[in-house]
Amino acid sequence: MQARVDKVRAQLAKAGVVPGSRVVLALPNVVATVVAWLAVQSLGATSVELDREWSERALAEAVRQARPSLALISGRDARKWLALPVARLLVVHPAQPLRAMRAVLGERYAGWISEEGHTEYAGEGPPERVPDVAQVVFTSGSTSTPRGVLQTTQNLCASTDGVVAFLQLAAADRAMLVLPLFYVYGKSVLLSHLRVGGSVFMDHRSMYPRLVMAAIGEQRCTNFAGVPLTFESLRRRVDLSQIDHSSLRFVTQAGGAMQPDTIAWARAAFAPAHLFVMYGQTEATSRLSFLPPALAAEKRGSVGRGMPGVELQVVDESGEKVAAGVEGHLVARGDVIMRGYLDAPEETARVLRDGWLWTGDLATRDADGFVFLTGRAKHVLKLGGHRVAPAELERALTSRAGVREAVVVGAPDGLEGEVAIAFVISDDTQLDSGALLKHCRALLPAPRVPRRVVLVPDFPRSTSGKVLVGELQRRAAELHSPEIP
DSSP of 56-99: HHHHHHHHHHH--SEEEEEGGGHHHHTTS--SEEEEEESS---H
Q: Does residue 379 surpass a pLDDT of 80? A: no
pLDDT band of residue 484 (cuts 50, 70, 90) is: very low
pLDDT of amino acid 390: 86
pLDDT of amino acid 464: 45
Among residues of the chain, what percentage have pLDDT more than 90?
A: 74
Average pLDDT of the residues in 181-198: 97
In whole angstroms, what is the distance from residue 454 CA to residue 452 CA?
7
CB 245 within 8 A of CB 213: yes
pLDDT of amino acid 140: 60
The string of pLDDT tens digits covering residues 250-283 is 999 998 878 788 899 999 999 999 999 999 999 9
Region of poorest pLDDT, from 50-64, 91-105, 346-360, 429-443: 91-105
pLDDT of amino acid 485: 38
The H-or-E segment that residue 253 falls in is: strand 250-253
pLDDT band of residue 446 (cuts 50, 70, 90) is: confident
Could you tell me the fold of the domain covering 2-128?
A: Rossmann fold (3.40.50)
Work out the number of other CB atoms within 10 angstroms of the CB of residue 457.
6
Average pLDDT of the residues in 462-480: 78
The string of pLDDT tens digits covering residues 95-120 is 766 677 888 888 999 999 999 999 98
Q: Does residue 150 surpass a pLDDT of 70? A: yes
Handedness of CA 116, 119, 122, 128 (dihedral sign): negative
CA angle 274, 230, 417 (to 5 degrees): 105
Phi–psi pair at 153, nearest 5 degrees: -60, -40
pLDDT of amino acid 228: 85
pLDDT of amino acid 482: 55
Decide: residue 262, CB within 10 A, 0-12 exposed, 13-18 middle, 19+ buried: buried
Region of poorest pLDDT, from 58-72, 214-228, 404-418: 404-418
Strands 386-388 and 305-306, sheet pairing: unpaired
The H-or-E segment that residue 270 falls in is: helix 260-270
Region of poorest pLDDT, from 10-24, 311-325, 330-344, 364-378: 364-378
Work out the number of other CB atoms within 10 angstroms of the CB of residue 441.
15
pLDDT of amino acid 97: 62
With a CB cutoff of 8 Å and minimum separation 6, the contacts of 229 are 384, 385, 415, 416, 417
In whole angstroms, what is the distance from residue 482 CA to residue 475 CA?
14
- What are the residue boundaries of the structural domains of the chain, listed by start? 2-128, 148-376, 381-479
Dihedral angle of Cα 39, 45, 49, 54, to the nearest 10 degrees: -100
Roughly what angle, to the nearest 10 degrees, separates helices 228-237 and 209-218?
100
Handedness of CA 240, 243, 244, 248 (dihedral sign): negative
What is the CATH architecture assignment of 381-479?
2-Layer Sandwich (3.30)
In whole angstroms, what is the distance from residue 425 CA to residue 420 CA?
17
Average pLDDT of the residues in 6-23: 96
Region of poorest pLDDT, from 28-42, 69-83, 129-143, 219-233: 129-143
pLDDT band of residue 467 (cuts 50, 70, 90) is: confident
pLDDT of amino acid 189: 98
Average pLDDT of the residues in 387-402: 87
In whole angstroms, what is the distance from residue 35 CA to residue 1 CA?
7
pLDDT of amino acid 125: 87
Q: How far is CA 288 from CA 160, 278, 377, 468, in A?
A: 11, 8, 18, 33
pLDDT of amino acid 388: 82
Among residues of the chain, what percentage have pLDDT more than 70?
A: 96
With a CB cutoff of 8 Å and minimum separation 6, the contacts of 272 are none
pLDDT band of residue 466 (cuts 50, 70, 90) is: low
pLDDT of amino acid 144: 52
The string of pLDDT tens digits covering residues 25-47 is 999 999 999 999 999 999 999 99
CB 275 within 8 A of CB 267: yes
Same fold, 2-128 and 381-479: no
The string of pLDDT tens digits covering residues 74-83 is 999 998 999 9
The DSSP-derived string for 366-425 is: -TT--EEEEEESS--EEETTEEE-HHHHHHHHHTSTTEEEEEEEEEEETTTEEEEEEEEE
In whole angstroms, what is the distance from residue 79 CA to residue 59 CA?
13
Q: Does residue 210 surpass a pLDDT of 90? A: yes
Region of poorest pLDDT, from 88-102, 150-164, 302-316, 409-423: 88-102
Q: What is the mean pLDDT of the chain?
A: 91
Q: Does residue 398 surpass a pLDDT of 50? A: yes
In whole angstroms, what is the distance from residue 286 CA to residue 186 CA?
9
Query: Homologous superfamily of 148-376 in CATH?
Result: ANL, N-terminal domain (3.40.50.12780)
CB 46 within 8 A of CB 21: yes
Q: How far apart are the first and last CA of the chain?
A: 45
Decide: residue 435, CB within 10 A, 0-12 exposed, 13-18 middle, 19+ buried: middle
CB 115 within 8 A of CB 35: no
